[in-house]
Amino acid sequence: MALVSIFELVLAFICFLFLCCLRNKNDGTPKSFPLVGMMPDLLLNIHRIHDWGTEVLERNHCTFLFKGPWFAKMNTSVTCDPANIHYIMSSNFQNFPKGSEFKEMFDILGDGIFNADMDLWKTQRKSAQEFLRHQLFHQFLLRTSRAKVENGLIPVLEHVATRGLVLNLEDIFQRFTFDSTCILVTGYDPECLSVEFPEVLFAKALDDAEEAIFYRHVRPPSLTKLLRWLNIGQEKKYRKAWEVLDDIIVKYIYQKRKELNKMNEGLICEEGLDLLTSYILTDQEKSSGLKCDDKFLRDTILGMMLAGRDTTSSALTWFFWLLSKHPEVENKIIEELKSAIPAEETQKKRLFNAEEVKNLVYLHGALCEAIRLYPPVPFQHKKPLKPDILPSGHPVDPKTKILFNLYSMGRMKSIWGEDCLEFKPERWISKRGIKHEPSYKFLSFNAGPRTCIGKEVAFVQMKAVASAIIYNYCIHVLEETPVVPALSIILHTRDGLMARLSSRWD
């Protein structure tokens, strides 16, 4: 018995020493071990990686160097310092492309605009901007958003509300944005937002791919290559997802080319100009400088679908979750919506058109505030072409990635003040109306030359959905289902946003 007791004491002492080693250093930086670097701390906190990263950044004045395993090529300067971000995204933009490692990590996106750098990126961005700014597209966007709310979203919500059913609001928002984005990008409506709740293979494949890409960020590239070669784990799911996405997109492209051969240009303009149609017609005219072959069209469609479906649905999910916690904000939005319509229409069900909600200050501020706290893309990274020193004093070189932590940025007192953790739409409102924050402080729509060209599209869709739901329905989020971030490159929830709905005016 004495021998057993001594063994237990020795074992307990060893465990105590190990736990002490795992504790952060006095400066708040995770402990770096020989050979494995800071990986033990990362793996212990992987389930809460966003909050863990925020804690570390707060203790290190918004920037710290993560040291990966020896020879793993994982050393990363993690920052949420606005000065660093402005320098990288604007002042010295040419020295900080996304780089070959980014393209390898997001290889499913091919040579699309989100992977492209330098001249290829400039050419694609110019073409995409011209398309999104075209009057025909803007009209198509407004018409599509209104129709999808009226004929897709409302029938589903009515079906659920009248039967007292529980629904996953995140799933509803993803179906809405998937249908809407698919129409805008390809011209086809998958009609997955319906009371039948059909299985959406494209959406499931996107989720699997995003999860696999997340894990590529937190393990050595050599391990990813091994898993890919063995075709197991996340890499096996990734390969299958890639095949599903390719199969569906190829069919869209083939069908569109076939239709355009039979249609005249006047009829196309009357029905509205989707991106796929625009690019194919432009390629036929040889006027854009882009080679719009099937490979290019496939890469462009997938990138736009990922951006359009996932970012907007994520923003809506967290927005409505925050509203469920702050009924006073919801009441202010309702009052603002009432102020935008005739008095005789304020006590009955109604949908809002784009002009009615376009200039609503409080609604816009509430959406921005939700995105500040829960950015749909919680992190992004760059890589310097040559050695440099960031404004924070941290040196960087081509062997070190730079990761922007957008999630942490919204939670820094040094950036947003002592009340940074509070949901306060008022922080976006001034006497003149909407208060515009610098993009390097509010990075959710990117900054500098790579500022998001789809920002207006996102706000049109978010306001259409938010006004329709808030004004017509009461949402009761189920407390028994925890709402926490999933492990993904998009800030999805782990278990969805489960809720019941009831009509506000019955």
- Indicate the annotated binding residues: 452
- Rounded distance between C-alpha atoms, residue 288 and residue 131, angstroms: 11
- Find tokens 């004004």 and name the residue: 471
Backbone angles phi, psi at 287, to 5 degrees: -110, -5
Nearest-Å Rg of the Cα atoms of the chain is 24
- Rounded distance between C-alpha atoms, residue 427 and residue 458, angstroms: 21
Which amino acids are annotated as binding site for heme, given as ranges?
A: 452
Whether 234 and 211 have beta carbons less than 8 Å apart is answered as: yes
CA 67 to chain centre: 26
Helices (H) and strands (E) in the chain, counts: 22, 11
| Helix residue ranges per DSSP H, 36-98 | 39-44, 49-59, 82-86
Enter the tokens of residue 487.
């492990």
Longest pairwise C-alpha distance within the chain: 93
Within 10 angstroms of residue 494's Cβ, the number of other Cβ atoms is 13
Contacts of 102 (CB under 8 A, 6+ apart): 115, 381, 382, 383
Beta strands in 157-236 (DSSP E): 166-168
Enter the tokens of residue 378.
């919680």
Backbone angles phi, psi at 394, to 5 degrees: -85, 125
SS3 state at 388: strand
Whether 375 and 411 have beta carbons less than 8 Å apart is answered as: no
